[in-house]
Amino acid sequence: MTSPRKPRLADAAEIAAEQGLTSARVTHLYNTRDENGFPEIAGMRRRARLWDHAEVTKWFAERSLARLGDHTPPPRDPEDLLNGVAASKFLGYKNINQVNTYVRDHPGYFPDPDVVEEMGTPERPYRKLLWRVQTLLDWKAARPGSGRYVSSERPAKALPAVPVDGDPDELLGATQAAALLGYKSVGSFSSSLAQGNLPLLQTPDALTEKGGRRRWTRKRILEQAERRRQKRQDAVVRPCPTAP
């Protein structure tokens, strides 16, 4: 039987650095926890207080949601790509690393990046994560947390019916590709593409002149759909190993 995973602990200095505050400000938030609900300490390192990092990050996230309700992002092209710092500023966070913190510490809370660029050298590789403005706007409209938002009460827009027997060389966009591949939304398609689950579509067949939006031929999309279907079928029929 495995023992429960120990939480990651962080002191005031680390929390302050992540949230764009001072250690004194973090201490003040703790001292006034009866009023603001700041988390209790989870341990001590000599004389330094330690908090459960996940609990503190969640507290700051929920606190930010209330403040961000009145924030209106500046006008941008929906197809513009923003990195973590630019996305944080676009969404109105005071902490310019807030988006990166969500991605690192809270998988599934923030949308997956639309584009992942492999950077650096073979010895020191790193990834550049980029989100489309429309992805950020969609998340802001229906983000997790308290409060009611008009957009969250609207049903998700249904994908169009796209014929499979059309011109195989016709260029189709993300919405049509999502429909042909059987996704429920464009966001799900974009997320899967960013994670490398659709290798045949990693390189588009064309880009639009305005906005550089990706386009793929119907033939290529259907080939990827067949691979996806076959992979699912293989997973279902694969026999379970028998005990010796």
Q: What angle do CA 39, 44, 47 make, to 5 degrees?
A: 115
Instruction: State the burial class of residue 193 (Cβ atoms within 10 Å of its Cβ: 0-12, 13-18, 19+).
Output: buried
pLDDT at 217: 95
pLDDT at 154: 39
pLDDT at 151: 35
Tokens coding 33: 């926890």
Phi/psi for 52 (5° steps) reads -65, 115
Tens-digit pLDDT profile for residues 36-93: 889 999 999 888 999 999 899 888 877 766 555 567 888 889 899 999 999 988 988 8
Longest CA span, the chain: 71
pTM of the predicted structure, to 2 decimals: 0.40
pLDDT at 174: 85
pLDDT at 69: 58
pLDDT at 147: 37
pLDDT at 73: 85
CA gap 20, 98 in Å, rounded: 9
Ordered per-residue pLDDT tens for the chain, 244 residues? 455 667 889 899 888 887 777 888 899 999 988 888 899 999 998 889 999 998 998 888 777 665 555 678 888 898 999 999 999 889 888 778 888 887 877 767 788 889 988 877 777 777 889 999 999 988 887 765 433 333 333 344 577 889 999 999 999 988 899 889 988 777 677 767 766 788 999 888 988 765 567 889 999 999 999 998 888 777 655 554 444 4
pLDDT at 83: 92
Instruction: State the burial class of residue 24 (Cβ atoms within 10 Å of its Cβ: 0-12, 13-18, 19+).
Output: exposed
Place of tokens 């992540």: 18
